[in-house]
Amino acid sequence: MDLGLDGKVALITGGSKGIGEAITRTFLAEGAHVANVNRSTTEGEALAAEYAAKGQRCKFIQGDLTRMEDCQRAVQTTLDEFGQIDTLVNNAGVNDGVSLTDGPQAFLESLQRNLVHYYAMVHYALDALKSSSGAIINISSKVAATGQGGTSGYAASKGGINGMTREWALDLAADNIRVNTVVPAETWTPLYAALIDQSSDPTAARRQIEDLIPLGKRFTTAQEIADMVVFLSSQRSLHTTGQIHYVDGGYTHLDRKYTSGSNRIDLSK
């Protein structure tokens, strides 16, 4: 299926590792150009060099998105390099474990790391997105719907992202800008693998989580998240806006009485 992304420009935050890297690579596979904004340089520069060798444009922009001037610079650099922005993917963030006991200042800093730059990036890219009748894709988390415990800042940020998605979809409909959210749950990434490896029995720990995922009893892949993001950005998704898309194998919303193999209750009798 031709997604109509050849020559389009995607600006992606946190596009160097994990889910973000999968999103970057999938846009490039569809013929789009990518501007990738990341704080760390090693992975971003390596991606840029890899695709430059293939004759593709993957511009790396170093920036700390907690700094509003870096958000503005990222947008301007993208426009200077490519002349347009067709899709903005807000992906960067970290589950930083800021809890109720950490205090208001730590909470505000967590919002800065996980929520405020979503608003800032859209604000600074808005004129370009209006010109292209573009798309905004926000990456949220199942934590916004389920809670997790001990991570008030991250949970509040992800809930805020879902709320802004609905607000912006309404606000920008007259400009033909589509706004959607993609929600990962248990997604297998190098970071998740590293966390699992810290357990005393990594194989059992992984299996315990997979048993709670109804569809296929497996983790979602980063590629499956990326595929949804790119589809929602494409010409094949021109009448979808304001939606919260859970790509999670049914993990978030399906009844756990049925999904936990060890605790399944037979209600058919």
Annotation says 154 is catalytic? yes
Tokens describing residue 65: 């998105």
Pick the catalytic residue from 154, 192, 246, 258. 154
Residues recognised as catalytic: 154
